[in-house]
């Protein structure tokens, strides 16, 4: 099971935080900080797996992460998940973001925080993989967009230039 | 407009983020603004509500507490507009709130959306349940969701969501998700057309099958045929589920995980098909890649590693195991770091299989090389783990030497663990105990700071228990102490060993008594108080061993820096030892300061520590270790029973000396963390102070022997409720902590404590609970229980928290008793008496005759015997007034058949209870437990 999905930038600013196991708010913040410090000190091009920190820790938990340009995508998972599978899942999530936002960048995550959550919800649900087929995910998001457009026909939602 | 809003708000937040104060100021202003909008007279339209709720989410993401807006979010749930509903659900999923009034409203909205038959709304509602996953939600929806899941007309996307939603509820509240007709229909989802549905269903079944293997047995053959279709199909067949030329990798991984819940299939056809699949997957690994992209190799290898895990799990096909091992061997040298990491990890489990242990050992050089050259600490850590797992008598010297040399440069984060592992291996595979002593002293020299008490206690235990190594140990520590700078832990070991066995090397003029003393005393002033206290004990032991240095030692004890030391412990020792050395005759000295008796043999405290550090599951060869050690350490004869040393208790002879009211200080090494001498300390974990058991806890405990649910403890602040279920040797206990006050409990930490005796026999696993318990709130903790072997004591639940300004500390016994692992056995009268006779050995029978404490009611008695867990056998005993029961206690290691007979005597108001089992300790414990019930 995925316990948490954390996305933060190279300075540790959180850009997307989703917990699938309940932690009090201040612990959530600590987990984000601790995880950031754990991955920050690692070089690129080394292993994408490491043991978690003290808060979501123990040998049963792992952090699986990928670093894309300015952003770290970190999935904290327990031993019931396949490490390489999760690594690919991160890739699917990012590729989907890229399709939905056309060349996604950090600002998209800030300006469209709600949308990013909705995309994530199509991929992961309650800590489990929901859908891995990118076409299916994008189709769902497009369906949502159409619904939205029909409701808010005056306000056009498009990416900021 | 919306775009502008986002740009303005978020940008301003972003830019101001440069200074923390400015950010906080800006955010507080924003929060005040939103709050006033929410509280304002003007009703907000849906769009504004949505806007503000979204702002709150962003502020929350930045790490600021949000304590309002929940109600507005809940209002959005009942909107008919999709976008408003959507953001409402998102807010609630991210900012979960335990306010019960809100939960009622949320549940209402969810109920409406689930009933709406609008798949989009249903999806949102299911998502929310899966995100929050609280017990309240499980109570409300656990019955509903299976219906949605298996209904014929449910859309695929909703089915997917429903499966995962149910999985989430099962994880939080398994008791609320009853198995039923739906389970067989869920199994058939493995044949569904839509691979997304199959993936979700596989996840669900995997989790459910772990606890209900029988119920989901049929999933094995379905999973195998599904897997086979994926693996053998040309990748184009699966269209969209082909990921970088790999057909449905996630589903394959999940199916292989599901199969790991079961033993190898019994049906030869299914088994053959599975073997064929696994071979195909192994073959594909050798084919040239279809793409150079890393995603391709990741997906392909994800399936491969899972297939290897399954092969290892089945541990039955030597051919496949060897192929798996060879494949992993290839990966050990792969240029991808991730693959090297995973190969090391998988090999660790492979090393424990008897078929492949030897094959794993052939890779030792590669693994040692990984330890030396890997750039990544995660990978080096796995290499250490694998070396530990592949170690046996043949390669122990090499592996221990490599680990020691790695230790000099190892990352600080893993040093302590390496120290423990080296200490365990050195002990476990020591043929020659001089090697063991050298290894531990090297450990202290190289990584003294990481050598915990357990490690140095252990070397002392072993030296004391083995007289063939004592002289060598004394000589070696003496030499090691001559280094100009040596670690304090070495001073401790050296002090202790010379105090006991310094006489064995005193014949050599280079290590005469005086030289030994001067050497130790030269370290004295640099040491901490506990070490100095230990050295003082060594000195008094020297007085006994070497009468010639007595005046020198008396001078030291008499000096102001000892007799008037500011530290009470040191001062007391100096005073008492000085007095003892002056007053006592040689005989008395020899008695009081006699050599320490051998330590009783038991589980190594180091192993216990490693288990604590790594979780019990990772220290796999525990049984093995135990067996080997008892052979290694004790040689032939059993060690002397746990006798208390003359020095560690106030002995009569000490009293005769008139040393005053204070009990003589122990002459063994000093207490390391207060209380007790070494003998006590070695064996008890120096846990923080735990409150004594709460009054009345005994009675409450007894009430739970025959039942599983109820209130365990209650005082003015706190109520502890229990709900538990047991099946064979496993159990699960839900502990509910209710805060009865209106004030928060802070730092709320429940801890489960198993005594050293209990720990190897009973595994308890739990997760920490939220450290804050709101006033009036209830938090739940789940404890997973595994009975490894029969046990007597009960674990203790200690709860510490702050209430108002005061620190609260409560301990209660947790009613996990041996009888919980009973499975009732029905049998006929003839069988019963035949078995009864078979168990006629006097040790197998325990009998207790006792007075009834409760009215002697037949029905109540019957209920209690059934509650106790055994079957109640009617018409077995010739005397109808008697009660007869039978059952089997399930432990991980063994099963113990138990027969019982209860004979009431109404006139005398007495009972006679007889227990017969194959194991004395079990008869004894069951008799005690059941006797207390009547």
Q: What is the 3-state secondary structure (H, E, C) of chain A?
A: CEEEEEEEECCCCEEEEEECCCCCHHHHHHHHHHHHHHHHCCCCCCCCEEECCCCCCCCCEEEEEEEECCEEEEEEEECCCCHHHHHHHHHHHHHHHHHHHCCCCHHHHHHCHHHHHHHHHHHEECCEECCCCHHHHHHHHHHHHHHHHHHCCCCCCCCCC
**What is the predicted pLDDT for the residue at B269?**
95
Rounded CA gap, B79 and B88, in Å?
9
Class assignment of domain A2-158? alpha beta
Q: Encode pLDDT of B256-277 as tens digits.
A: 999 999 999 999 999 999 999 9
Rounded CA gap, B683 and B681, in Å?
5
End-to-end CA distance of chain A: 38
Are A132 and A123 a contacting pair, CB within 8 Å? Answer: yes
**Residue keyed to tokens 């989907």:** A96
> Least CA distance to A149: which residue of chain B?
B83
Six-digit token string for A136: 């299916």
Residue of A17, A25, A88 lying closest to B295 (CB–CB): A88
Report the alpha-carbon angle A62-A42-B767, nearest 5.
25
User: Which tops the pLDDT comparison, B625 or B586?
Assistant: B586
> Least CA distance to B304: which residue of chain A?
A84
Segment B448-453 shows an average pLDDT of 84
Residue B125 scores a pLDDT above 60? yes
Confidence of residue B638 (pLDDT cuts 50, 70, 90): very low
Q: Percent of chain B at pLDDT above 70? A: 88
Residue B804 scores a pLDDT above 60? yes
> How many CB atoms lie under 10 A from the CB of residue A104?
22
> Least CA distance to B297: which residue of chain A?
A84
Are B909 and B856 a contacting pair, CB within 8 Å? Answer: yes
Q: Which residues on A lie below 8 Å from B167 (Cβ)?
A: 126, 128
SS (H, E, C) B118-149: CHHHHHHHHHHHHHHCCHHHHHHHCCCHHHHH
Six-digit token string for B760: 């190897």
Segment B119-135 shows an average pLDDT of 91
User: Which tops the pLDDT comparison, B77 or A56?
Assistant: B77
CB contact under 8 A, A130 and B196: yes
Segment B485-511 shows an average pLDDT of 90
Chain B, residues 694-753, CB within 8 A of chain A, namely: none
B306 has a chain A CB within 8 A of its CB: yes
B241 has a chain A CB within 8 A of its CB: yes
Six-digit token string for B13: 């937040």
Residue B530 scores a pLDDT above 80? yes
Q: Percent of chain A at pLDDT above 70? A: 92
> Least CA distance to A33: which residue of chain B?
B63
CA A158 to chain B, closest CA, distance in angstroms equals: 8
Considering Cα of B172, then B174, then B178, then B179, what sign does the dihedral take? positive
Residue B683 scores a pLDDT above 80? no
Q: How far lies B69's CA from each of B53, B464, B584, in Å?
A: 7, 67, 79
What order do you get walking across the sheet with B745-753 strand by strand? B745-753, B796-803, B806-813
Which of A81-85, B54-58, B482-486 shows the highest mean pLDDT? A81-85
> How many CB atoms lie under 10 A from the CB of residue B625?
19
Q: Which residues on B lie below 8 Å from A42 (Cβ)?
A: 376
Q: Encode pLDDT of B377-387 as tens digits.
A: 889 989 999 99
**Residue keyed to tokens 């304090």:** B488
Q: Count how many residues are written for chain A.
A: 161
**How many CA atoms lie less than 13 Å away from B882 in the CB half-sphere?**
14
Are B145 and B162 a contacting pair, CB within 8 Å? Answer: yes
Give the rounded distance of the alpha carbon of B476 from its chain centre: 38
Residue B672 scores a pLDDT above 70? no
Residue B900, beta-bridge partner list: B885, B915
Segment B15-43 shows an average pLDDT of 79
> Least CA distance to B87: which residue of chain A?
A114
B262 is annotated as contributing to ligand binding? no
SS (H, E, C) B728-756: CCEEEEEEEEEECCCCCEEEEEEEEECCC
Report the alpha-carbon angle B872-B818-B696, nearest 5.
100
Six-digit token string for B449: 């700071």
Give CATH for domain B819-932.
Answer: 3.30.310.10
**What is the predicted pLDDT for the residue at B354?**
76
Segment B598-615 shows an average pLDDT of 70
**What is the predicted pLDDT for the residue at B615?**
56
User: Which tops the pLDDT comparison, B618 or B24?
Assistant: B24
Q: Which residues on A lie below 8 Å from B87 (Cβ)?
A: 114
Segment A14-32 shows an average pLDDT of 89
Segment B415-444 shows an average pLDDT of 88
Q: Encode pLDDT of B169-216 as tens digits.
A: 999 899 998 888 889 999 999 999 899 999 999 999 999 999 889 999
Pair type for strands B710-714 and B910-917: unpaired
Q: Encode pLDDT of B764-790 as tens digits.
A: 888 888 888 888 888 889 899 999 988
Confidence of residue B760 (pLDDT cuts 50, 70, 90): confident
DSSP E strands: which ranges in B528-654? none
Look at residues B357, B344, B264, B347 and name the one whose alpha carbon lies nearest to residue B310: B264
Q: Which residues on B lie below 8 Å from A133 (Cβ)?
A: 195-196, 240-241
Q: How far lies B565's CA from each of B520, B523, B574, B659, in Å?
A: 19, 17, 9, 19
Residue B225 scores a pLDDT above 90? yes
Residue of A1, A29, A91 lying closest to B63 (CB–CB): A29
Confidence of residue A75 (pLDDT cuts 50, 70, 90): very high
CB contact under 8 A, B63 and A32: yes
Task: Tell me what the pLDDT averaged over chain B comes to.
Answer: 83
Q: Does domain B697-816 have CATH number 3.50.50.60?
A: no
B119 has a chain A CB within 8 A of its CB: no
Q: Phi-psi bin for B658: left (phi > 0), alpha (psi -120 to 50), beta? A: left
Task: Tell me what the pLDDT averaged over chain A comes to.
Answer: 87
Confidence of residue B390 (pLDDT cuts 50, 70, 90): very high
B37 is annotated as contributing to ligand binding? yes
Segment B656-663 shows an average pLDDT of 34
Q: Encode pLDDT of B565-592 as tens digits.
A: 888 888 889 988 988 888 888 888 888 8
Report the alpha-carbon angle B83-B115-B173, nearest 5.
95
CA B342 to chain A, closest CA, distance in angstroms equals: 8
Confidence of residue B686 (pLDDT cuts 50, 70, 90): very low
Q: Encode pLDDT of B70-81 as tens digits.
A: 888 888 888 888
Q: Which residues on B lie below 8 Å from A157 (Cβ)?
A: 2-3
Residue B707 scores a pLDDT above 50? yes
Long-range contacts, B404-410 (Cβ 8 Å, 24+): B404/B439, B404/B442, B404/B443, B404/B446, B406/B371, B406/B372, B406/B380, B407/B443, B407/B446, B407/B447, B408/B446, B410/B380, B410/B447
Secondary structure (DSSP) of B213-256: TTTTTTHHHHHHHHHHHHHHS-GGGGGGGEETTEESHHHHHHHH
Rounded CA gap, B885 and B824, in Å?
8
CA B470 to chain A, closest CA, distance in angstroms equals: 38
Contacts of A122 (CB under 8 A, 6+ apart): A96, A130, A131, A137, A140, A141
Q: Which residues on A lie below 8 Å from B83 (Cβ)?
A: 147-148, 151-152
**What is the predicted pLDDT for the residue at B603?**
62
User: Which tops the pLDDT comparison, B649 or B285?
Assistant: B285
Segment among B57-61, B152-156, B236-240, B664-668 with least mean pLDDT: B664-668
CA B102 to chain A, closest CA, distance in angstroms equals: 17
CB contact under 8 A, B203 and A129: yes
Confidence of residue B742 (pLDDT cuts 50, 70, 90): confident
B53 is annotated as contributing to ligand binding? yes
> Least CA distance to A45: which residue of chain B?
B337
Look at residues B396, B385, B344 and name the one whose alpha carbon lies nearest to residue B615: B385
Segment among A125-129, B21-25, B864-868 with least mean pLDDT: B21-25
Confidence of residue B337 (pLDDT cuts 50, 70, 90): very high
Look at residues B69, B88, B21, B76 and name the one whose alpha carbon lies nearest to residue B45: B76
Residue B840 scores a pLDDT above 60? yes
Q: Percent of chain B at pLDDT above 90? A: 30
Output DSSP code: residue B565: -
Q: How far lies A130's CA from each of A126, B88, B110, B162, B651, in Å?
A: 9, 21, 20, 10, 70
């Amino acid at each position: 099971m995925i316990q948490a999905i954390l996305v933060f930038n190279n300075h540790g600013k959180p850009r997307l935080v989703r917990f699938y196991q309940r932690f009090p708010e201040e612990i959530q913040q600590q987990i984000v900080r601790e995880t950031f410090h754990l991955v920050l000190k690692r070089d690129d091009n080394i292993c994408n797996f490491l043991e978690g920190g003290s808060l979501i820790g123990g040998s049963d938990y792992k952090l699986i992460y990928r670093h894309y340009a300015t952003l770290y995508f970190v999935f904290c998972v327990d031993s019931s998940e396949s490490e390489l599978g999760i690594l690919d899942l991160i890739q699917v999530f990012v590729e989907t973001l890229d399709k939905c936002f056309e060349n996604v960048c950090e600002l998209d995550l800030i300006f469209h925080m709600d949308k990013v959550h909705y995309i994530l919800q199509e991929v992961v649900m309650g800590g489990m993989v929901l859908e891995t087929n990118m076409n299916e995910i994008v189709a769902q998001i497009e369906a949502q967009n159409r619904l939205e457009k029909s409701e808010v026909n005056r306000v056009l939602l498009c990416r900021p230039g | 407009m919306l775009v502008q809003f986002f740009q303005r708000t978020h940008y301003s937040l972003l830019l101001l983020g440069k200074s923390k104060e400015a950010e906080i100021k800006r955010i507080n202003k924003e929060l005040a603004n939103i709050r006033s909008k929410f509280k304002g007279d003007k009703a907000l339209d849906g769009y504004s509500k949505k806007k503000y709720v979204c702002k709150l989410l962003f502020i929350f993401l930045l790490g600021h507490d949000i304590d309002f807006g929940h109600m507005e979010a809940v209002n959005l749930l009942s909107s008919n507009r999709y976008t408003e509903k959507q953001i409402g659900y998102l807010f609630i999923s991210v900012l979960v709130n335990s306010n019960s009034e809100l939960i009622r409203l949320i549940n209402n909205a969810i109920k409406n959306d689930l009933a709406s038959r609008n798949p989009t709304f249903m999806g949102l509602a299911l998502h929310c349940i899966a995100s929050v996953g609280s017990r309240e939600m499980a109570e409300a929806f656990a019955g509903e969701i299976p219906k949605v899941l298996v209904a014929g007309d449910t859309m695929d996307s909703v089915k997917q969501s429903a499966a995962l939603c149910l999985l989430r509820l099962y994880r939080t509240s398994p008791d609320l998700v009853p198995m039923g007709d739906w389970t067989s229909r869920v199994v058939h989802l493995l044949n569904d057309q839509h691979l997304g549905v199959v993936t979700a269903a596989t996840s669900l079944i995997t989790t459910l099958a772990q606890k209900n293997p029988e119920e989901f047995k049929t999933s094995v053959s379905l999973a195998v045929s599904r897997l086979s279709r994926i693996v053998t199909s040309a990748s184009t067949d699966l269209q969209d589920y082909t990921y970088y030329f790999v057909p449905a990798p996630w589903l394959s991984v999940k199916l292989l995980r599901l199969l790991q819940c079961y033993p190898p299939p019994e049906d030869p056809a299914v088994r053959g098909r599975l073997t064929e699949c696994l071979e195909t997957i192994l073959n594909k690994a050798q084919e040239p890649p279809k793409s150079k992209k890393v995603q391709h190799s990741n997906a392909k290898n994800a399936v491969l590693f899972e297939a290897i895990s399954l092969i290892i799990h089945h541990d039955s096909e030597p051919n496949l195991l060897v192929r798996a091992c060879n494949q992993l061997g290839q990966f050990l040298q792969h240029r991808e770091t991730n693959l090297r990491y995973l190969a090391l990890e998988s090999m660790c489990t492979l090393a424990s299989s008897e078929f492949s242990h030897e094959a794993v050992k052939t890779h030792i050089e590669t693994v040692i090389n990984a330890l030396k050259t890997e750039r990544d600490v995660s990978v080096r850590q796995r290499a250490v783990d694998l070396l530990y797992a592949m170690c046996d008598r043949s390669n122990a010297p090499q592996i221990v030497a490599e680990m020691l040399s790695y230790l000099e440069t190892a990352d600080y984060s893993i040093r302590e663990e390496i120290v423990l592992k080296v200490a365990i291996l050195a002990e476990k595979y020591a043929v020659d105990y001089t090697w063991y002593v050298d290894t531990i002293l090297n450990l202290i020299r190289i990584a003294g700071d990481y050598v915990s008490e357990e490690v140095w206690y252990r070397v002392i235990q072993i030296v004391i228990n083995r007289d063939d190594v004592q002289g060598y140990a004394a000589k070696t520590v003496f030499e090691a102490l001559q280094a100009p700078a040596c670690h304090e832990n070495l001073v401790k070991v050296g002090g202790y060993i010379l105090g006991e066995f310094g006489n064995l090397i005193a014949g050599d003029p280079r290590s005469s008594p005086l030289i030994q003393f001067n050497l130790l005393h030269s370290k004295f002033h640099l040491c901490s108080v506990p070490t100095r206290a230990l050295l003082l004990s060594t000195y008094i032991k020297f007085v006994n061993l070497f009468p010639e240095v007595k005046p020198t030692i008396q001078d030291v004890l008499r000096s102001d820096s000892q007799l008037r030391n500011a530290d009470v412990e040191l001062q007391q020792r100096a005073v008492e030892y000085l007095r003892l050395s002056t007053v006592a005759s040689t005989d008395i000295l020899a008695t009081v300061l006699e050599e320490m008796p051998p330590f009783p043999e038991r589980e190594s405290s180091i192993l216990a520590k490693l288990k604590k550090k790594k979780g019990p599951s990772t220290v796999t060869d525990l049984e093995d270790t135990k067996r080997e050690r008892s052979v290694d350490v004790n040689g032939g004869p059993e060690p002397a029973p746990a006798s208390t040393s003359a020095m560690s208790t106030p002995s009569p002879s000490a009293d005769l000396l008139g040393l005053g009211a204070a009990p003589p200080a122990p002459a063994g090494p000093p207490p390391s963390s207060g209380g007790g001498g070494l003998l006590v300390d070695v064996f008890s974990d120096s846990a923080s102070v735990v409150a004594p058991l709460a009054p009345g806890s005994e009675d409450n405990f007894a009430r739970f022997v025959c039942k599983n649910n109820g209130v365990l403890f209650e005082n003015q602040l706190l109520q502890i409720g229990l709900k538990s279920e047991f099946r064979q040797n496993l159990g699960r206990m839900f502990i509910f902590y209710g805060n009865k006050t209106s004030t928060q409990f802070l730092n709320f930490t429940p801890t489960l404590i198993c005594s050293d005796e209990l720990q190897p026999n009973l595994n308890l696993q739990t997760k920490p609970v939220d450290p804050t318990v709101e006033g009036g709130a209830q938090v739940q903790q789940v404890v997973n229980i595994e009975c490894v072997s029969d046990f007597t004591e009960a674990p203790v639940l200690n709860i510490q928290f702050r209430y108002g300004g005061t620190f609260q500390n409560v301990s209660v016994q947790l009613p996990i008793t041996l009888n919980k692992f009973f499975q009732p056995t029905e049998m006929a009268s003839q069988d019963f008496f035949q078995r009864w006779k078979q168990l006629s050995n006097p040790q197998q029978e325990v009998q207790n005759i006792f007075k009834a404490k409760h009215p002697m009611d037949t029905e109540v008695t019957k209920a209690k015997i059934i509650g106790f867990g055994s079957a109640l056998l009617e018409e077995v005993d010739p005397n109808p007034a008697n009660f007869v029961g039978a059952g089997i206690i399930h432990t991980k290691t063994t099963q113990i058949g138990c027969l019982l007979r209860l004979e009431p005597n109404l006139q005398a108001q007495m009972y006679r209870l007889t227990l017969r089992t194959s194991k004395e300790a079990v008869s004894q414990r069951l008799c005690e437990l059941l006797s207390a019930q009547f």
